[in-house]
Amino acid sequence: MQPMTVHRRDPAPSRFSYRMQRLWLTPTFRFLVRRGLPVLFVLLVLAVVFGSAARRQALLAQYNAVRTQIEHRPEFMLSMLSIEGASPTLADAVRKMLDIPFPVSSFDLDLKKLRAQIEALDAVASANVAVGPDGVLQVTITERQPVAVWRTADGLTLVDGTGHRVASLTKRDARADLPLVVGLGADQAIPQAMALLAAAGPIAPRVRALVRVGERRWDMVLDRHQRVLLPEADPVAALERVIALDQARHLFDRDILSVDMRLPDRPAVQLSPAAFAARQKALGLEAKTGAAKK
Amino acid sequence: MMDLYQSQRTMRSMRRAAMQRGVIAILDVGTFKISCLVLRFDGPDDAMEREGVGPMAGQSTFRVIGAATTRSRGVRFGEIAAMPETERAVRTAVQAAQKMANVRVDHVIACFSGARPRSYGLAGEWQLRERIVTENDVANVLANCDLPDLGDNREVIHAQPVNFAIDHRTGLSDPRGQAGNRLACDMHLLSVDALAVQTLLNCINRCDLEVAGIASSAYVSGISTLVEDEQELGAACVDMGGGATGLSIFMKKHMIYADSVRLGGDHVSIDISKGLEIPLATAEKIKTLHGGVQATGVDDRDMIEIGSDSGDWDKDRRQVSRAELIGIMRPRVEEILEEVRARLDAAGFDHLPSQQIVLTGGGSQIPGLDGLAAKILGQRVRLGRPLRVQGLPQAATGPAFSSAVGLCLFAAHPQDEWWDFEVPADRYPARSLKRAVKWFKDNW
């Protein structure tokens, strides 16, 4: 019988496994295998998947379908428009202008654009558009408040405190409560006009209109065709002087046509022709001149 | 001669590169086992910058992060006899140590015990020109040492300046900066068999590793085993390995003599195997478990099952008494020690002021050895264990690892050797200077 030879496994690593282990212990190699290979694999898979146009299209279509489905869930649908803070006419105008085809998904509406659209209306000072509960599109409007009627060659216009157009007016009588301003560039100086009217005080009931002259200064027109010519600079003080004069000397009760305050140190009063003649007569000067200044 | 100088310099620069990378492996190629330790260097430790001696005697700059030991194969008398086998064993050890350390090591410092080391004492003289000793003067005096005839196929493995003298002042460890007319130097040179070293280097290169240094195991086990005052006052370290017993004599912190006896623990095992007619592996086991060198009365009754698997009942149930085993072991151990004694006497160890002898290595673990050694080597014998270094596994702290640990210390703080100094300019062969001139002419 042959002696049994025991084949014991060689405990030494083979040259290949020894080199592999050393390679594996190399930090760069290790990093490449552990991080680089997975990243490369993922990139490869993505490249293969998205390489074909048809697959890309299908995926995009699927994405869009899911998106539409979510957007049209009842939670996101709007069914009515509610406008607050606007007069019925303005509300109607806004409704007509926006013309939203309800029901509509709130994702399809561009609220910022809607708001800009509403604020573009003359009658609207500011607007707020929000998606409220229960499918209501909430529009809150602050209207412009007209403070004066502006007459131009084209017709009558309502303007607000900043001079911005609010609406057109067909008849002056429709807004008899508002003062009238006339002249080119009057809308640019509405705040000054308001200050003048506020300063008019005792003669306020007699003021018929404020006339902008040469886009630079105001004339105040009173009834009985009387007129106060105000300077460009500091008209309120000039007006106050005139009013003080009227209260002290009953200026406007006299037969005069206009008070000229344009030169602050040289106020002038124009008499009516009849008054002038009477004055000439009283002074004994029967000259035939048309008008003279005091 | 220049070749060796260059190759040693290459190894030194390799060692510096490894230090920069912070990881270096040390490899102790022994007859019985091959051990590999992976060291991590953390740069200059703050412990080094503190005053006085830091923890671990300043050795804490490195830490052992991987350790592996495997049975040696293909090594006889501390020399490689079958390279493919040894290569496999080295791969096993290096791979296991790398796995434990979890880093790749490319640089290895190796030591071996065989290759017939031979010691020479060299002396050189140099007339100083500047009266102040500079590094260049040291290089010159080292280069001026008269080199003995080493014989065919011998190479220098260690060439350490041991002592410097300026004029009539001797015993200087570092002459730089001192003034004088004549600089003299004593150098200890250790030569080994060139072919054996070349085989070892080839073997390591075949494992894809770079050799960053090479040392004699007798020297490195002396570094790790002798304590500081023993190194200073003079002592001999006897490293009893498997196939060779190395001995090194230290004085004033320098090795002044090294030799090796081509006898070791393996011969004891072979004796047991032959005497008891049992396999070598069983003999090794019995030696390790029951061996000794001092028989007492109780050993006659201490029966050891020696077993076997021949199938013959009588043969397989054999028993020997421990006294018989000791009777086989003792003559061989005595022979080894006698041989060591002879070598020490030849080296003039008797004339040293201190007669301390330290036994280390795996063979020194035989019980009762210190008593026997005291009879043969002299009264002042102790058993030595290696210094404890940071991170060394418990299993690797025994005396069998003293050369591995010593190699760690050698890697961390190598002794200045001849090739650490620049070769003096006038010693360069004229050919290379001509070549440099030619290069300039060709290129400019």
**Final residue in a domain of this structure, among A123, A143, A163:** A143
**Final residue in a domain of this structure, among B177, B192, B207:** B192
Closest CA to B242 of B220, B226, B260: B260
Looking at chain B, which residue has its C-alpha nearest residue A28? B104
Is residue B215 included in any domain, yes or no?
no
Q: Contacts of residue A10 in chain B, CB cutoff 8 Å?
A: 88
Cβ of residue A21 closer than 8 Å to a chain B Cβ: yes
| pLDDT at res. A293 | 47
Is residue B213 included in any domain, yes or no?
no
Residue in the block written with tokens 């001139």 = B437
B97 in Cβ contact with B66 (< 8 Å): yes
Q: Helix (H) and strand (E) counts for chain A?
A: 9, 14
Give one DSSP letter per residue of A163-193, joined into a string.
S-EEEEES-GGGGTTS-EEESTTGGGGHHHH
Q: What whole-number distance in Å separates Cα of residue A199 and Cα of residue A218? A: 14
CATH code at position B318: 3.30.420.40
Cβ of residue A101 closer than 8 Å to a chain B Cβ: no
| Same-domain status, A164 and A269 | yes
Between residues A86 and A40, which one has the greater pLDDT?
A40
Is residue A69 included in any domain, yes or no?
no
Q: What whole-number distance in Å separates Cα of residue A158 and Cα of residue A156? A: 7
DSSP state of B352: S
pLDDT in tens, A121-138: 888 888 888 888 888 888
Looking at chain B, which residue has its C-alpha nearest residue A24? B104
CA separation, residue B114 to residues A252, B37, B195 (Å): 139, 21, 12
Determine whether the interchain pair A18/B103 forms a contact, defined as Cβ–Cβ distance below 8 Å.
Answer: no
| Same-domain status, A151 and A138 | no
Which A residues 192-251 touch B at CB under 8 Å? none
Number of domain units in chain A: 2
| Same-domain status, A220 and A245 | yes
Task: Tell me which residue in A11, A19, A25 faces B103 most closely, judged by beta carbons.
Answer: A25
Cβ of residue A13 closer than 8 Å to a chain B Cβ: yes
A175 in Cβ contact with A158 (< 8 Å): yes
Q: What whole-number distance in Å separates Cα of residue A290 and Cα of residue A287? A: 9
| pLDDT at res. B424 | 62
B359 in Cβ contact with B381 (< 8 Å): yes
Average pLDDT value for residue range A200-212: 86
Task: Tell me which residue in B91, B102, B208 faces A13 most closely, judged by beta carbons.
Answer: B91
pLDDT in tens, chain B (444 residues): 446 667 888 888 888 888 888 899 999 999 999 999 999 987 555 544 555 544 445 456 788 999 999 999 989 898 899 999 999 999 999 999 999 999 999 999 999 988 889 999 989 888 887 778 888 888 888 888 888 888 888 888 888 888 899 988 888 888 888 888 888 999 999 999 888 888 999 999 999 999 998 999 999 999 999 998 999 899 999 999 888 999 999 998 899 999 999 999 999 999 999 999 898 999 999 999 999 999 888 988 989 988 877 888 888 888 999 999 999 999 999 999 999 999 999 998 988 888 899 999 999 999 999 899 999 998 899 999 998 888 888 888 899 999 999 999 888 887 777 777 776 655 555 566 777 787 788 777
Looking at chain B, which residue has its C-alpha nearest residue A3? B310
Cβ of residue A39 closer than 8 Å to a chain B Cβ: no
Task: Tell me which residue in A11, A19, A25 faces B92 most closely, judged by beta carbons.
Answer: A11
Chain B: closest CA distance from residue A38 (Å): 23
A:B CB pairs within 8 Å:
28
Cα Rg of chain A, angstroms: 43
Please state the length of chain A: 294
pLDDT band at A174 (very low <50, low <70, confident <90, very high): confident
Burial degree of A193 (CB within 10 A; 0-12, 13-18, 19+): buried
Looking at chain B, which residue has its C-alpha nearest residue A10? B88
Neighbours of B57 (CB within 10 A): 11
Please state the length of chain B: 444
**Final residue in a domain of this structure, among B192, B222, B237:** B192
* Predicted complex ipTM: 0.76
Tell me the two tokens of residue B71: 């049975």
Segment holding A241, helix H or strand E: helix A235-249
| Same-domain status, A89 and A121 | yes
CATH code at position A267: 3.40.50.11690
Neighbours of A45 (CB within 10 A): 10
Pairing of strands B33-41, B23-29: antiparallel
B422 in Cβ contact with B139 (< 8 Å): yes
| pLDDT at res. B59 | 54
Is residue B396 included in any domain, yes or no?
no
Q: Residue A109: which domain range?
A: 74-143
Q: Contacts of residue B99 in chain A, CB cutoff 8 Å?
A: 21
Task: Tell me which residue in B99, B103, B208 faces A19 most closely, judged by beta carbons.
Answer: B208
Residue B281 amino acid letter: A
Is residue B292 included in any domain, yes or no?
yes
Determine whether the interchain pair B88/A22 forms a contact, defined as Cβ–Cβ distance below 8 Å.
Answer: no
Q: What whole-number distance in Å separates Cα of residue B242 and Cα of residue B255? A: 23
Q: Contacts of residue B207 in chain A, CB cutoff 8 Å?
A: 18
Report helix, strand and coil shares of chain B as percent, to nearest 5.
45, 25, 30
Residue in the block written with tokens 């939203």 = A100
Is residue A20 included in any domain, yes or no?
no
Q: Contacts of residue A26 in chain B, CB cutoff 8 Å?
A: 104
Determine whether the interchain pair A21/B95 forms a contact, defined as Cβ–Cβ distance below 8 Å.
Answer: yes
Q: Residue B130: which domain range?
A: 118-192
| pLDDT at res. B47 | 47
**Final residue in a domain of this structure, among B192, B218, B242:** B192
**Final residue in a domain of this structure, among A128, A143, A158:** A143
| Same-domain status, A184 and A257 | yes
Chain A: closest CA distance from residue B84 (Å): 11
Q: What whole-number distance in Å separates Cα of residue B128 and Cα of residue A131? A: 101
Q: What whole-number distance in Å separates Cα of residue B333 and Cα of residue B285? A: 17
Closest CA to B195 of B186, B207, B203: B203
Looking at chain A, which residue has its C-alpha nearest residue B310? A3
Burial degree of B375 (CB within 10 A; 0-12, 13-18, 19+): exposed
| Same-domain status, A113 and A190 | no
Task: Tell me which residue in B88, B94, B104 faces A26 most closely, judged by beta carbons.
Answer: B104
| Same-domain status, A138 and A260 | no
CA separation, residue B298 to residues B288, B289, B301, B395 (Å): 19, 16, 6, 31
CATH code at position B179: 3.30.1490.110
Number of domain units in chain B: 2
| Same-domain status, A192 and A127 | no
Give the HSE-up count for residue B93: Cα atoms under 13 Å, Cβ half-sphere. Answer: 30
